[in-house]
Amino acid sequence: QVQLVESGGGLVQAGGSLRLSCAASGRTFSSYAMGWFRQAPGKEREFVAFISGTGRNVDYAYFVKGRFTVSRDNAKNTVALQMNSLQVEDTAVYYCAAGRASRQYDEYEYWGQGTQVTVSS
């Protein structure tokens, strides 16, 4: 069993930065790939990024590539999403998830409660 708790969301102006964190419980954190997804009002949940259990492999959605960076610290059971050059279109609830390294949300077994990111123009 893995429990995930996100933090770091908030209100930021376009062009600004935020750093999301996700803290995981459990002793098997490093065996899970960690994904970030987001869901805007009226839209489906979409893939943002994932990082493999070792941290060696990462993948990003095209719309965040070059702006967002995913990282993890297995010693601290945490994963982070550094978001730079934020755009109004990045406004959404952001979720971290633990599971298999995939862009598909149904490959992830455990989910956090989400954290709101709002980007103003």
Averaged pLDDT of the chain: 96
CA distance 25 to 16: 30
CB 70 within 8 A of CB 49: yes
Tell me what pLDDT residue 26 has.
80
pLDDT band of 97, cuts 50, 70, 90: very high
pLDDT band of 27, cuts 50, 70, 90: confident
Q: Is the pLDDT of residue 87 over 80?
A: yes
Q: Average pLDDT of 59-82?
A: 97
List Cα–Cα distances, 103 to 107, 118, 120, in angstroms: 8, 23, 27
Residue from 2, 3, 11, 1 nearest 115 by CA: 11
Q: Is the pLDDT of residue 75 over 90?
A: yes
CB 81 within 8 A of CB 92: no
Q: Average pLDDT of 7-16?
A: 98
